[in-house]
Structure 1
Amino acid sequence: MPRVWEIPVHDSTRVRDARVAAERAAAPAGLDEPRTAAAALVATELATNLLKHAGGGRILVDVVDPPTPSGGAARLVQIAAIDHGPGIADVAAAVRDGFSTTRSLGAGLGTCRRIADDFGLHSAPGRGTVALARVGARPTEAVPFAAVRAGGVNVPFAGADHSGDAWAWARSGDRLTLMLADGLGHGPDAARASTAAVEALHRAAHLPPAEALVHLDTALRGTRGAAVAVAQVETRAGLLRFAGVGNIGARLRDGDRWRSLLSRPGIVGVHRHATLREDRMPWAADRLLILHSDGLPSRWTPPADAELLAADPAVVAAVTLRDASSSARPVRDDTAVAVLAPTPAEVP
């Protein structure tokens, strides 16, 4: 079962915890010593920035696949810093090495962007900032271009070591498939169910979503089961397929409006609906798909910022998580958000 780290950062003692989490995530990601040090530095800088500029926030550390499937690329350590602070007035200036709004060295965000494999930043005045970096072993070959990217964030319930939610995506020919699974309940048994779903997805990536769910149902027998949603883009046909079982939420941005995609009742691996509906709709450069587990409130407002179409999909997921969070509504379960998005080149 993969480990997920959430570190609340409200005083300087937690900066070390963020660094240690990044170091521990480096081993399953296959990072060597220099890249492990890079991941630790990124976590340290992002956690320090939360204290200096936002009055605190949280760091999420996870081991993820690259945002574009490349057929065997190494996994990466993903470090996300999320806050509800005042925001950054000049994002472009903030990511330059040496920039500072204080008397500190000011190399934080610029350093992160320079040493990370991927770096994304989104900030809105009065709503807060999301900074996200991924660090992995340097690839020896160029990553093939794809018209679709995926990313996500995962938050374990109550600071647990493992999340019962999991997301993953896989490629088979021109089919790019994103899955989000929510193991029943939370804790290690829920994590085993969602991990089994991830492993099964990679064997079923050639199947359309409804057929993939039948395959996953067999793979999850013997676990406590999971709610699962599967979305698949056929890039040559410009087609999006979607099917789901259980309470995974799905919102699709179609131009300037959002629509909900509905799943069937049931639990994959325990009680799957007898007939599975598969929705089909066009996929184009103005589409954006957000999947989420029930750790997110059922009523939440999708992001209205058009710039997010060009953002890293994991940044979109983190912004969605941040804006749907509320201290008035305590989280009662693991929470995962996964996003399927066009590449920047596909955005008009």
Structure 2
Amino acid sequence: MSDGYRGGAVLAEVVRSGFAESVHRGSVVVLDAGGAPVAVRGDGRGPVFPRSSNKPLQSVGMLRAGLRLDDDADLALTCASHWGEDVHVTRVERLLERHGFAGADLHCPPDLPAGPAVRDEALRAGQAPTRTRMNCSGKHTGMLLTCRAAGWPTDGYWEPAHPLQRTLRATAEELTGEPVAAVGVDGCGAPVFAFSLTGMAQAFLRLVHAAPGSFERQVADAMRAHPRLIAGTGALDTVIMTDVPGLLAKGGAEGFAAVAVPGAGAVAMKIDDGNMRAIPVVLRAALGALGVAWTPPPSPVLGGGHIVGELSSTW
């Protein structure tokens, strides 16, 4: 997953009884509103796979290729790593149906909901995994609809050589200001592009600072208008975009996160061990460096059902 990324500093630690028990290492880049570095911890230039944090950039590419959606909530869904709640699945299925597709046309694998509560409910009800409940089904739906709009074949739309993926790659390169360092296969089966943390922070700044009505701004505005569709009830992206007006956020698997606040700046981070629990506390500190106040949900460490410590940022 690293492709030249050198890893980095201690960003968070678990404290029990006043002693640091374990640590999370990683890297974080903080840019001001003009794109200049405010702070860098660890490796800000080595390429990493942002995983689903690439989705907003890919959605800009879909619009450039001709995708047009009547409802900005559907555009938000193309950027989502949704938790498989009914509000997500129903919208995906209706969007597919309106354009003559079905869940079976999606290349993403069948899955159970990603949200803990809705996943437990599905298991209790004996529900089988489906493609539309997979957390990337909104992105794959957008890819299918883009192919239809552009007159491209839908067969193999996930292949790196397909004209759709070439367009999405070129768009992501333009927004990050970097060439793709590596192309991998994401968990959903679509290509994932590697960039540096600095490049990803620059891309998110471009989204929130883009001119009103531009494709970049359409994506940013749709995501911020529909935070629940981006993730789900209680999920970090949903919570922080609800808590901080104007903030754009998109996390990625294996400990990646990118956020931007218009007029303030942007943050991109990677936790080396892929554990997502360090992200909120580090993000709070990084946003604080930009003068943006946000208090994440509590992060207690439990032992025997009791709180015995907490996770805190070292920066």
TM-score, normalised to structure 1, is: 0.24
Flag the structure with more relative contact order, 1 or 2, with Cα contacts below 8 A and sequence separation at least 6: 2
* Structure (1 or 2) with the greater helix fraction: 2
The structure in which a higher percent of residues are strand is 1
TM-score (norm 2): 0.25
